[in-house]
Structure 1
Amino acid sequence: MTPARAFCDACADDHRRPPMKKRVKRIIGWGLFTLLVMAVSSIFVADHLLPPATGRPSHALPLSDSDTALDRELAPLLARHEGQTGAIMLPDGIDAYAARAISARQAGRSLDLQYYIWHDDLTGRMLANEAWMAAERGVRVRILLDDMGIGKMDATLLAMDSHPNIELRVYNPFRNRTGLMRLLEMVQRAWGVNHRMHNKAWIADGRVAVVGGRNVGVEYFSAAEEFNFHDLDMVLFGPAVADASKIFDDFWNSEAAIPIEALNRKPQSTIRAVLAQIQEEAKSEEARRFLDRMDTSPSVRGYFSQSLTPIWSEGVRILSDPPIKWRGDERENWLVEHLVGDIAQAERAALLISPYFVPGVDGTERLVGLSQRGVHVAVVTNSLAANDVVAVHGGYVRYRKTLLEGGVRLFETRSQSDVKAGSSLFGSSGASLHTKAVLIDGRRGFVGSFNLDPRSANLNTEMGVLFDDPELGAALFKEYRHLTAPGLSYWVYLNDDGDVRWVDRDTDPPEALKVEPDSTRMQRVVANVVRWLPVESQL
């Protein structure tokens, strides 16, 4: 072939081959089209892509007056308060851990544990060991965890599940446990995996229930070195505990609860190693120091000396969203409807505590309307520096000025760590405030998992304690006063020019701050960008 012919053939090949830019555009175009098809299809087939629920149905075990230590301790007490539920507020992290650990040690029949997050850290493994030791005594243990909140804990969960008296199920899980296939499944099931189980409940023998805002992890139990949440649970015993057991059974037997053994397998050597690690850490010096703090807690000492004074009330109930909330059936039974209804009936005061607060247009109008009717409306939420989810703060900022103009009082909690918690766009690990509560007219209230934001209202399942009792109202008001104290929060107001200002009441004299306190420039930029993005429904 002559050089001239070879040159002409090469030119012809170049002419037939699409230019590089066109090839790249085609690849990107087909990739985006594929992702779009997968995302759209998830809306219609998400339920069919959920792994099948293969677990056998089971239910709460019948109560007895004397079979277990908790039966013998509580049956006579409940007989003296017939029809009433005993309740104790747990704002302290050490006390909250103690309520779970002690009830597990006293249990002789069953433990039913339901959580959004269970960290594989010191307190997570210590409480796992408490559940294991209960199972060793013959206690039936059922553990239901949300798949988004357990990280890479499959080995630990399978180790727990290996005990004949422990069964562990995962809510709305991924078929693919790791890697690229899990990411592709997240896209394919985008509509379905966006719905999570945010419930938190610890139920022992059907006698004691711990319900509230805390997940399981060191930051929830005042055991973290750098950062701990302000949070709130209630420990209950009496008729309302049956509500918690019924809720647990509904979730446990739903099509969204999948046995962990159906999702993953691990060799016996790995399971034995994990169990050995859990049991060894439970005896470690670090665990001993934490347990010593628990033993010296006034509340723990009060329990063992039988000097605790619970509040007895007939006005206590536990409510939850339905297990398959995303289908939108019977919305009148959703928790948000009960809370919105209670808030709307406020006559004197509506005090709201929510770490993530995105009221939306309707919520803002309702709160402003209450204020203009003469109701004292106040909200405690995280400041930008204390909020680990910058996107949520951006959603809140959209309504902040309107709320202030309408007479709603706002308090933003300070960052409680010298070391900045890891802020992220949508993550959740380091906010100062984690308490989720509502107090209406000093006596009607809520303590639970529900944030006052669109995600809690429409996407996640939520759970909590509703009460109508002046003593419980006074206990919750005490926590509200604690959170709004000068050392814990800034008071937010509008100056004469209509600009947002933050009052640092912990200085002498108090100082008015012009920018979001303790925040970085990058945090402020991201929050302002998110403020204008169409992502509010996901916050």
Structure 2
Amino acid sequence: MNLSVVSKSMMRLASKLMALPSKLMTLALTLSLVSACSSLPPPQQLTPSHKLAAPTDSGLYRYLEGDLKAHPNKTGFLPLSSGVDAFVARLAIVDAASQSIDLQYYIYHDDETGRLLIWHLIDAADRGVRVRVLLDDLTTKTLDDGLVLLASHPNIEIRLFNPSYERTFRSFAMLTGFSRLNHRMHNKSLTVDNQITIVGGRNIGNEYFSKNDDVDFGDFDLLTIGDVVDEVSDQFDRYWNSEQVESVVNLVPPPTSEMYKEAAKIMARNKQNFLHDEYLNRLELSELLTQITSKGLAWYWGDAQLLYDPPQKASRQGHQEWLLTDLSQFLGKARKEVLIVSPYFVPTDGGCQALIDAAKQGIKITIITNSLAATDVLAVHAGYKAYRERLLENGIALYEVKVDINNRPSAWKGSSRTSLHAKTFVLDRASVFVGSFNFDPRSAWINTEMGLIVDQSEFAGELVDEIQKSLKRSSYRLDLNDGELIWHDDLKGQVYYADPDASFWRRFMADFIGLLPIESQL
């Protein structure tokens, strides 16, 4: 990264926040002749576009050059466990972009972190960077006007995956078109200049970056350079140019001059409100930012492989290419130990039996997932709870993330404000999968997913050690007592005989939902 760009951008963030409304007003005047009618224009045929060759004369390249040349044909990566660091990483690489930005996410919230990232993307586009934004359409209902405004920038193009063509009555469209619209793009990546990328479990929103006071998703990403970045760019191109995507300008009426003026007012107000937000101080004090500005990034180096579903999975095609096949082969290579961290864990009968068979072969299996009190998706917990006794009876270790207001949020522990969201599998303290894939039927069969496998024993061992150290503090250990489930709080020395920290009503609802025949959708 260009140190001057990164440090000045972050440390002078307040002054930058005030510049963009005037830019939007200029854009409004430039585009004031845009049709004011609310009808859609004739659909435009999507023009294919592809990754650009990584530049060799940019500040980002010069920043990374020494590390890359010292490790040819290898992948370097940094774990992003802290939500603040994960957001700083995204802002930093966007600010360092000189040629291209490819952003692909399942959820993009219109909140403080979502807006701040958008403002940085607009800055990049203003300086000539090509920005391609690919979002799943499921949660974009309230974003249509903002997205079509952004797409009017000459350097920004926005496409939606498997979109609803009914933009007003989206819930009705979901009911009538369920067989198609049920398939979503759960992939998550942000790639800059085909030289650096972030892949992992985080979407874009306050709860993923420790900005939300009500809920914070403990998650995990990898900031990545080197050999595998080109594979991530190829993955993005495959989705971007697929039949499953549509341009937002073909779905939403074009913006009017009044919309530009109103958007400029809203942006100015939002930025004024954000100027004194303590979150800016937390970003400036980020440990990762200190490492970036001092060029103290300590990359792990090893071999890496990108796994991803083809976009055609949404059409139930290309089964042989599905991520599940490659991930099953990866897990099947374990000889001693498997650690599974999955916020949504519904193994199904087949997956449960595969885990039991592995345990019977002497492989130590540990599973960490959300407790009933910590989960944000009650239906998934209802599906998971049916398998707990079988897994425990066959020697598989189960841990459920606690609710504890005194726990500082991180990727591995939960509080009343925190829910586990990381998706990470570790084999034999040697190889790690980090991505968007949950151990459940929806990830396996319905949604598209992606993730990185990295072979690096130092990183894998440190990750396992860190997680194991946190278990007593952050999780309940499950066990059986005369065939009945019990929960051990090993930190306090207490035993619970029902789901801890969950109300009677929440337990009742989990039991009730568990009776419904919906496992295939979880």
Q: Which category of TM-score, normalised to the shorter sequence, fits these structures?
A: 0.7 to 0.9
Structure 2 residue 487 is the aligned partner of structure 1 residue 487: no
- Which 10-residue stretch deviates more, 225-234 or 452-461? 225-234
| From 376, 381, 384, the counterpart of 1:388 | 376
| From 478, 484, 487, the counterpart of 1:499 | 484
Which residue does the alignment assign to 2:130? 140
Which residue does the alignment assign to 1:56? 47
CA–CA distance in structure 1, aligned partners of residues 251 and 308 of structure 2: 27
Q: 1:26-41 counterparts in 2 under 5 A?
A: none
Q: 1:475 to 1:233 in 2, by over 3 A?
A: farther
Q: Is the 8 A contact 1:90 1:234 kept in 2?
A: yes
CA–CA distance in structure 1, aligned partners of residues 257 and 313 of structure 2: 37
Structure 2 residue 83 is the aligned partner of structure 1 residue 96: no
| From 409, 425, 436, the counterpart of 1:438 | 425
| From 68, 71, 77, the counterpart of 1:81 | 71
Q: Is the 8 A contact 1:387 1:430 kept in 2?
A: no
CA–CA distance in structure 2, aligned partners of residues 256 and 84 of structure 1: 33
Which residue does the alignment assign to 2:20? none
Q: 1:208 to 1:216 in 2, by over 3 A?
A: same
Q: Is the 8 A contact 1:388 1:430 kept in 2?
A: no
Instruction: Letter of the 2:420 partner, please give it.
Output: L
Structure 2 residue 391 is the aligned partner of structure 1 residue 403: yes
**Per-residue Cα deviation, 1:118-153 (whole angstroms, up to 9, x for no partner):** 000000000010100000110000000011132411
Which residue does the alignment assign to 2:246? 258
Which residue does the alignment assign to 1:7? none
| From 310, 330, 338, the counterpart of 2:326 | 338
Which residue does the alignment assign to 1:289? 278
Q: Is the 8 A contact 2:55 2:193 kept in 1?
A: no
Which residue does the alignment assign to 2:184? 196
Which residue does the alignment assign to 1:274? 263
SS of equivalent to 1:152: helix
Instruction: Letter of the 1:296 partner, please give it.
Output: L
CA–CA distance in structure 1, aligned partners of residues 127 and 163 of structure 2: 30
Q: 1:167-316 counterparts in 2 under 5 A?
A: 167-179=157-169, 182-265=170-253, 266-278=255-267, 280-282=269-271, 284-285=273-274, 288-313=277-302, 315-316=303-304
Q: 1:89 to 1:339 in 2, by over 3 A?
A: same
**Per-residue Cα deviation, 1:249-270 (whole angstroms, up to 9, x for no partner):** 0011011111111111232322
Q: CA deviation at 1:288?
A: 4.8
Q: CA deviation at 1:178?
A: 1.9
CA–CA distance in structure 1, aligned partners of residues 294 and 426 of structure 2: 32
Q: 1:513-532 counterparts in 2 under 5 A?
A: 513-532=496-515
Choose 1 or 2 for highest CA Rg: 1
CA–CA distance in structure 2, aligned partners of residues 431 and 53 of structure 1: 43
Q: CA deviation at 1:481?
A: 2.5
Q: 1:154 to 1:451 in 2, by over 3 A?
A: same
CA–CA distance in structure 2, aligned partners of residues 336 and 312 of structure 1: 26
Q: Is the 8 A contact 2:89 2:288 kept in 1?
A: no
CA–CA distance in structure 2, aligned partners of residues 391 and 224 of structure 1: 23
Q: CA deviation at 1:535?
A: 0.5
CA–CA distance in structure 2, aligned partners of residues 460 and 158 of structure 1: 25
Q: Is the 8 A contact 1:169 1:258 kept in 2?
A: yes
Q: Which runs of 5+ in 1 are unaligned?
A: 1-50, 419-428
Structure 2 residue 464 is the aligned partner of structure 1 residue 473: no
- What is the count of residue pairs matched by the alignment? 471
Q: Is the 8 A contact 1:91 1:479 kept in 2?
A: no
CA–CA distance in structure 2, aligned partners of residues 461 and 236 of structure 1: 21
CA–CA distance in structure 1, aligned partners of residues 43 and 373 of structure 2: 42
CA–CA distance in structure 2, aligned partners of residues 170 and 238 of structure 1: 29
Which residue does the alignment assign to 2:139? 149
SS of equivalent to 1:95: helix
SS of equivalent to 2:142: coil
Q: 1:474 to 1:70 in 2, by over 3 A?
A: same
CA–CA distance in structure 1, aligned partners of residues 164 and 48 of structure 2: 21
SS of equivalent to 2:165: coil
Q: Is the 8 A contact 2:310 2:318 kept in 1?
A: no
Structure 2 residue 346 is the aligned partner of structure 1 residue 358: yes
Q: Is the 8 A contact 1:439 1:446 kept in 2?
A: yes
CA–CA distance in structure 2, aligned partners of residues 275 and 452 of structure 1: 43
Instruction: Letter of the 1:375 partner, please give it.
Output: I
- Which 10-residue stretch deviates more, 94-103 or 144-153? 144-153
SS of equivalent to 2:398: strand
Alignment TM-score, normalising by the size of structure 2 = 0.87
Tell me the percent identity. 39
CA–CA distance in structure 2, aligned partners of residues 177 and 430 of structure 1: 33
Q: CA deviation at 1:474?
A: 2.3
Q: 1:282 to 1:82 in 2, by over 3 A?
A: farther
Q: Is the 8 A contact 1:501 1:513 kept in 2?
A: yes
Q: CA deviation at 1:486?
A: 2.2
SS of equivalent to 1:187: helix
Q: CA deviation at 1:343?
A: 1.6
| From 95, 104, 107, the counterpart of 1:114 | 104
Q: State the structure with bigger RCO (CA 8 A, min sep 6), 1 or 2.
A: 2
- Which 10-residue stretch deviates more, 98-107 or 523-532? 523-532
Which residue does the alignment assign to 2:7? none
SS of equivalent to 1:291: helix
Let me know the Cα RMSD of the aligned residues: 1.9
Q: Is the 8 A contact 1:386 1:431 kept in 2?
A: yes
Q: 1:518 to 1:383 in 2, by over 3 A?
A: same
SS of equivalent to 1:464: strand
Q: CA deviation at 1:82?
A: 0.9
**Per-residue Cα deviation, 1:340-397 (whole angstroms, up to 9, x for no partner):** 2222221110000000000010111111111111111010000001112111111101
SS of equivalent to 2:138: helix
